[in-house]
Amino acid sequence: MPHLNKMNRLSKISIFLFIVTIYMLEAIVFANAIGVTPGRKTINFEPNLQSIVQFSIINNEKKDMKAVIYVEGELNSSITLQDYEIQLNSNEDSKSSSYKIQLPNKIKEPGIHEARIVVREIPVGKGATVGATAAVVSQLYVLVPYPGKFAKAKLVATDTQGDRPINFFIAIDNLGEQDIANAKATIDIFGYNNEKITTLATNSKTIKSKNKEDLFAAWNSKNINFGKYYAKATVTYDDEVTDTDLVFNVGQLIIDILSIEVNNFKLGGIAKFDIFLENKWGEDLKNVYAEMILNDQKGNEIVRFKSANEDINKNSKNKLSAFWDTAGFKEGTYNGKVVVYYNDKSTEKQLRAVVTLNSIKTEFVGVTAEAISVGAVGNQGILILLVFVLVAVNVGWFVYFKRKVKQKS
């Protein structure tokens, strides 16, 4: 009977170990990750143009990585790569490469002509999934000018917090063969119920062929209500007209970061940061995510981690979860910040995280905390000390020479 009990216990341990192993295997995710920068390079067409364009392959997971590089697209025969295969070690953040452009004598069709520099990761090492690979593209746009006058416009609004005038910029891209003598625009602004609120006039500019210029207008929005607005810009360039529009929000605070909590934490393990948010906006927000950044005592960034994207309903509270692998980190106080991104905007709060063996306590601090901690190391003290030392040395020399002269005499 004791023999049977022993067998029973052994089989229980075996089952437990089996479950743990399966769980651990499940938890190990062999991620492929690759990046390329810049994502796009735009040049103007010139007959027989020769040029070299630099780009970098980013090892954003900091692992041993291999990638193949090839060219696709209409202009692929105009591109010669410097490297067709590239290898990155886990200690390399990125590796530079380049391609040579040799454009033809003529491209008939005006507009954008493209070549795509594709960087495709080749899975290497243990656990690599055969067949599943990610690739990223660095685009080359070659702009062939349109006959006569032709411009494209893009409207952007900045400083939309509502406490200062809102700035409107219209980026005008002269894609025509001819210069534009006079480009100007009017911007009509409409409210939530499509009622026209105001019309703004921009400055005017001369734009040379294949060049870009910004037109500008400011809207004094001090007494307007927070909310969603629609702007339509009508751009007149010489005898031609084009338009561009934009939906934008005016408001000081859309998302408020309420608090951050970390529960069930053990130093060396994975810390789950629950970031509690409130959407104070009257509309649902899509793809909201948070990023935590922690610095050491000198203000150097030591870790940065993001939450997944979540949608947050209008006028409601929600939480985002971000995970920090604390293996290799020590107990201590870390300054940093949490930034929440949504609708091309961000909300930030400076924080202090006190990490102990079994807890992380976070508190929000004033905006000056980081500025002070980073900027605290000054040269002034060293300089004053240096001056005193030099003056002392000179006085010493003076006394020495004086004594020597006296001795001689």
d(CA 299, CA 370): 7
Q: Does 82 bind another protein (CB under 8 A)?
A: no
Residue among 19 and 391 whose Cβ is closer to another protein: 391
Question: If DSSP codes are grouped into helix, strand and coil, which group holds residue 227?
Answer: strand
Give the residue from 336, 340, 347, 350 showing the smallest Cα distance to 319: 340
Query: Contact, 29 vs 87, CB < 8 A?
Result: no
DSSP letter, residue 164: S
Q: Does 329 bind another protein (CB under 8 A)?
A: no
Q: Does 214 bind another protein (CB under 8 A)?
A: yes
- Binding segment for another protein (CB under 8 A), chosen from 84-92, 156-164, 180-188, 321-329, is 156-164
Q: Does 219 bind another protein (CB under 8 A)?
A: no
Identify the bridge partners of residue 43 per DSSP, sorted by sequence position: 142
Residue among 60 and 225 whose Cβ is closer to another protein: 60
d(CA 275, CA 339): 10
Query: Contact, 216 vs 169, CB < 8 A?
Result: yes
Q: Does 279 bind another protein (CB under 8 A)?
A: no
Q: Does 111 bind another protein (CB under 8 A)?
A: no
State which of positions 193-212 bind another protein (CB under 8 A). 203
- Contact residue for another protein among 16, 18, 84, 398 (CB under 8 A): 398
State which of positions 373-392 bind another protein (CB under 8 A). 374-375, 378-380, 383, 387, 390-391
DSSP letter, residue 367: T
Residue with tokens 């010493």: 396
Tokens of 392: 């002392």
Nearest approach, Cβ of residue 358 and another protein (Å): 30
- Contact residue for another protein among 35, 227, 251, 282 (CB under 8 A): 35
Nearest approach, Cβ of residue 37 and another protein (Å): 4
Size of the site for another protein (CB under 8 A): 74
d(CA 121, CA 102): 27
Q: Does 38 bind another protein (CB under 8 A)?
A: yes
Residue among 104 and 127 whose Cβ is closer to another protein: 127
Q: Does 39 bind another protein (CB under 8 A)?
A: yes
Question: If DSSP codes are grouped into helix, strand and coil, which group holds residue 15?
Answer: helix
Q: Does 302 bind another protein (CB under 8 A)?
A: no
Identify the bridge partners of residue 340 per DSSP, sorted by sequence position: 290, 347
Query: Contact, 320 vs 307, CB < 8 A?
Result: yes
- Contact residue for another protein among 14, 21, 37, 51 (CB under 8 A): 37
Q: Does 283 bind another protein (CB under 8 A)?
A: no
Question: If DSSP codes are grouped into helix, strand and coil, which group holds residue 330?
Answer: coil
Residue among 9 and 164 whose Cβ is closer to another protein: 164
Residue type, 145: P
Give the residue from 276, 330, 275, 270 showing the smallest Cα distance to 302: 330
- Contact residue for another protein among 63, 228, 306, 319 (CB under 8 A): 306
State which of positions 167-186 bind another protein (CB under 8 A). 167, 169
Q: Does 30 bind another protein (CB under 8 A)?
A: yes
CB neighbour class for 385 (10 Å; exposed up to 12, middle 13-18, buried from 19): exposed
Query: Contact, 33 vs 134, CB < 8 A?
Result: yes
The span from the first CA to the last CA of the chain, in angstroms, equals: 114
d(CA 324, CA 330): 13
Residue among 17 and 372 whose Cβ is closer to another protein: 372
- Contact residue for another protein among 295, 341, 353, 362 (CB under 8 A): 341
- Contact residue for another protein among 64, 159, 188, 243 (CB under 8 A): 159
Q: Does 22 bind another protein (CB under 8 A)?
A: no
Query: Contact, 107 vs 45, CB < 8 A?
Result: yes
Q: Does 131 bind another protein (CB under 8 A)?
A: yes
Q: Does 112 bind another protein (CB under 8 A)?
A: no
Query: Contact, 176 vs 149, CB < 8 A?
Result: yes
- Contact residue for another protein among 98, 161, 211, 242 (CB under 8 A): 161
- Binding segment for another protein (CB under 8 A), chosen from 4-12, 136-144, 231-239, 267-275, is 136-144
Q: Does 408 bind another protein (CB under 8 A)?
A: yes
